[in-house]
Amino acid sequence: MTDSIARLRTAGVSVWLDDLSRERLTTGSLAALRDRGVSGVTTNPTIFAKAITDSDAYAGQIRDLKLRQAPADQALRELTASDVRQACDVLRPVYDATGGVDGRVSIEVDPRIAHDTGRTVAEARALWWLVDRPNLFVKIPAAKQGLPAITACLADGISINVTLIFSLARYGEVIEAFLAGLERARAAGRDLSGIASVASFFVSRVDTEVDRRLDKIGTPQAAALRGKAAIANARLAYQRYEQSVSTDRWKSLERAGARPQRPLWASTSVKDPAYDDTRYVTGLVASGVVNTMPEGTLNAVADHGEIPGDSIHGTYAPSQAVLDDLAALGIDYGDVVLTLEDQGVTAFDASWDHLGQRLATALGTQKE
């Protein structure tokens, strides 16, 4: 694994783990991955739901929460914050060695409030205070109502991972929210060098949805476009990123100490077994990006991933051609990305609800 990660890092890609559990912390698994070059961790409600419900490692803390008569929502926040705080400590040496660029760990606001700007801001502040580590990222979904929350949190000096981005238009709005937040922070006299952000652009799910629609069309032209949409979409997002950091507006913030909002490739595990299992890593290599992977994808990259020096620059025209060809076949890009955004928020809502119900039962706050 070390050689593959080293090649990615040489190309300017930060490699993060898309997983966290108490076992990873207590067994030293996360520390071992850190020592092999993994430089960050992302989490989401589905990851925590699996970690907590599939393990006895949380039994002691849940017992204490029950004795304290903690409600399920509070217990859920404390359980997840505890893991993230410990992970921040494990990765603190990376944070220090990279001047705060890497060594980051993400925790997500309750996705059920993604469409309530005020509650999202309040929850983000609470998580920032609760975890109390400088290398934390608070994750906020890029739903329309979440954009003002992203700006407000950055203005407060809270480092933000903007998640569930699927569309180029929404990504443009995320960039605007980021810049506006930094401008407000600068106006308030905050140290911009201490505020960080990544924009999590989801990849494989785009192919899943587009391929489903192509299969319904069933023509040779449709078949020829299978598996091309996701990487094309992400490559065009990187073009948007490059455009954003070339503006006078950004350069003014940069002179004040601001760090760029790096693109982060999320959902990088392959859903279709017909595709190469490293494609969403090897096809999206460029300087200044983060690729967060489940351990299975990390292992696949280590075993047989061929890491190029750059697989994004020089691809913008053919990437746009892919989207144009899809449109010519009647694939509505706007409908695809809206569907994916709605599905993403709904899936995380369901994971959070399921975990909350399980905790409520364990805490004795509802009947079995």
Q: Which residues are catalytic?
A: 139
The CA–CA distances, whole Å, from 36 to 33, 78, 280 equal: 5, 29, 21
Q: Is 80 exposed, middle or buried (0-12, 13-18, 19+ CB in 10 A)?
A: buried
What residues contact 256, with CB distance under 8 A and at least 6 apart?
Answer: 186, 192
- Report residue 320 as tokens: 């746009």
Give the type of residue at 245.
V
Q: Which residue has the tokens 């192919």?
A: 207
What residues contact 253, with CB distance under 8 A and at least 6 apart?
Answer: 179, 182, 183, 186, 192
Element (H, E) at 108: strand 104-108
Cβ atoms 107, 139 nearer than 8 A: yes
